Amino acid sequence: MYHFGVLESNVHMSWMRTVCGRLKSDYRYTAKVVYNTFPWCTPTAEQKAKIEQTAQGILDARAKYPNSSLADLYDELAMPAELRKAHTQNDKAVMEAYGFSIKDTTEEVCVAKLMEMYQELTVEKG
């Protein structure tokens, strides 16, 4: 559930939008380029539990609409309020685990910090 929460977060989505390829206007998510290069945070036990809780909140909100597709649920204009709220709570939990300021971290700042983390990881592995 922790991994789902991080992957569904605005932190991972920012990384994905920056590093993944495109096929026409669609994102092309690949394990080698996006997933394997993503710098994972090292949360405390409390932070990990919070992310697991907020990730479950996303699934619970989706479950309230069993006849809706993901395309229906994630339509920007028609997204159910409880699903949007669940994602916001998950984003906050993940950003906290990364040590990112919820108020001051734009997507650009988020990606810059993730790139710094990635550089540190690649230097360590040499």
pLDDT tens figures, 55-111? 999 999 999 999 999 999 999 999 999 999 999 999 999 999 999 999 999 999 999
Tell me what pLDDT residue 22 has: 87
Under DSSP, is residue 10 helix (H, G, I), strand (E, B) or coil?
Answer: helix
> What is the model's pTM?
0.92
β-pairing verdict for 21-23 and 26-28: antiparallel
Tell me what pLDDT residue 110 has: 96
Asked whether the CA dihedral 37, 38, 39, 42 is positive or negative, the reply is: negative
Q: Which residue has the higher pLDDT, 113 or 26?
A: 113
Tell me what pLDDT residue 25 has: 85
pLDDT tens figures, 3-31? 999 999 999 999 999 999 888 888 999 99
